[in-house]
Amino acid sequence: MQARVKWVEGLTFLGESASGHQVLMDGNSGDKAPSPMEMVLMAAGSCSAIDVVSILQKGRYSVTNCEVTLTSERREEPPRMFTRINLHFIVTGPDLKDSAVARAVDLSAEKYCSVALMLGKAADITHSYEVIAG
């Protein structure tokens, strides 16, 4: 896997993936775009959400919505790494079983989500969920 990051101006940078997708990042506390650490947090949420939806769909469950709310804590002094991250899943679908969502979240957390598993080497990562019928 390869990527490129190019300076735009000030502390704003444009990242480009090998697949040609671009994303703007800003080191000025996210003035113009998400900061790199915000991108890392969102990457953990999206990676894990992809797992959860995929696992549920493979289990023949209909998922109509999946949202991950991420909360985190960081060190006060540099390097300002994450020390704690919670991924809270809100999964919506008709006839979704609590046990199926719990299993999907657990599988993502313990086996599949490479971003969260990597971050777990440096931070305490927890997962929670709720199921909404609909």
Same-domain pairing of 125 and 65: yes
Same-domain pairing of 4 and 63: no
Same-domain pairing of 101 and 45: yes
The model scores a pTM over 0.85: yes
Per residue in 66-124, pLDDT (tens digit) is 999 999 999 999 999 999 999 999 999 999 999 999 999 999 999 999 999 999 999 99
Per residue in 8-45, pLDDT (tens digit) is 999 999 999 999 999 999 998 768 999 999 999 999 99
CATH number for the domain spanning 101: value is 3.30.300.20
Same-domain pairing of 92 and 108: yes
Q: Which domain holds residue 94?
A: 36-132
Same-domain pairing of 3 and 54: no
CATH number for the domain spanning 7: value is 2.20.25.10
Q: In which element (H, E) is residue 22 found? A: strand 22-26
| Angle, in degrees to the nearest 10, between helices 36-58 and 98-107 | 130
Same-domain pairing of 98 and 119: yes
- Our count of domains for the chain comes to 2
